[in-house]
Amino acid sequence: MSEIQVLDTEAMERIVASVMPKTASDTDRLALMHMMRSSGLDPLRREVYPISYGGRLSIVVGVDGWRRLAHATRRYATGEASYQYDAEGNLHSCTFTVLTTDGGRFSFTCWLAEFKQNTPTWHRSPHHMLRIKAEVHCLKAAFGLAGPTEYDAETEVTVAAPAVVRPQDERIAELNRLLAAPSTEAATVQVEPARVDPPAPADLDAMTDEEISEEIGRLAEVSGVAWTAAAARAAARRGAKTDREYRIALVSQYQRAKARYEQQKDDGA
């Protein structure tokens, strides 16, 4: 286990004041300070910072932030991206692979058809944007950094999903309580090694395509997501030219569904 040093509250307040827009509320400022304290990430390095997203101010983690957290585990050996193309030579998908110092190997594939947005950044740099998505997914899965997120196509950042809505004064009170914790408790952020659970109900290699799709549907149901086994199969067939591509697409869906389920289980613990 490694440690990421966290600034004291006074230093964090000065940094927050310098990066927050004037329209930011006290809750926004406290939320950024809490993110800095809990993760050890630095807004001045664009590892975590505020951005207007979907008509509201959000605290976002950039890809450099995820890389820093991964390296802090001291288990990150190397990572590399590979691209796959269709028969016409068009970009089809990107697979990012992480190798760990203890011999672990983690891969995550993102499909262009699922992630591409109709924006200038995606039109100009589809390889780069798709790699960012695959890398962030893979780092989070490999090192236990997974969390509920949504992706902003233009800024290459991961946007923290909104917390359960509660009254404003209750949210501020909770954030104040967290920020008021003794400095000895918040001096460092302990980065835990990834907890890699075996796929349920069985190893993916031993499962048929039908069984994987049914498991995707089951995980979606218990996670409260409107996604069925039939929908998973239909989505996997789109763009898949071979049986292997179809299976890879199913496995990719399963990985996302399992990560979402595990995060919800952790949040409810």
Q: How far is it, in rounded angstroms, from Cα 151 to Cα 104? A: 27
What pLDDT is recorded for position 90? 94
What pLDDT is recorded for position 268? 57
For β-strands 56-62 and 76-85, DSSP reports them as unpaired
The length of the chain in residues reads 269
Question: Looking at 54-169, which runs of residues are DSSP E strands?
Answer: 56-62, 76-85, 91-100, 105-111, 149-152, 157-160
- Under DSSP, is residue 125 helix (H, G, I), strand (E, B) or coil? coil
What pLDDT is recorded for position 127? 95
Q: What is the pLDDT along the chain (269 residues), one digit of tens a residue?
A: 445 555 667 777 888 888 888 778 887 787 778 778 777 888 888 888 777 766 677 777 888 888 998 999 999 999 999 999 999 999 999 999 999 999 999 999 999 998 888 888 899 999 999 999 999 989 988 988 844 354 544 445 555 544 333 444 454 455 555 544 444 443 333 444 444 343 444 466 778 888 888 888 888 888 777 778 888 888 888 767 788 888 888 887 888 878 777 776 666 54
Helix extents (H) in 125-202: 126-142, 168-179, 183-186
Q: How far is it, in rounded angstroms, from Cα 215 to Cα 192? A: 28
Sheet holding 149-152, edge to edge: 48-53, 56-62, 157-160, 149-152
For residue 62 the two structure tokens come to 């950039």
Q: How many CB atoms lie under 10 A from the CB of residue 100?
A: 20
Which helix H or strand E contains 188, and what residues bound it? strand 188-191
Sheet holding 105-111, edge to edge: 76-85, 91-100, 105-111
Burial 202-215 (b: 16+ CB within 10 A, else e): eebeebebeebbbb
Phi, psi of 57 (to 5 degrees): -85, 130
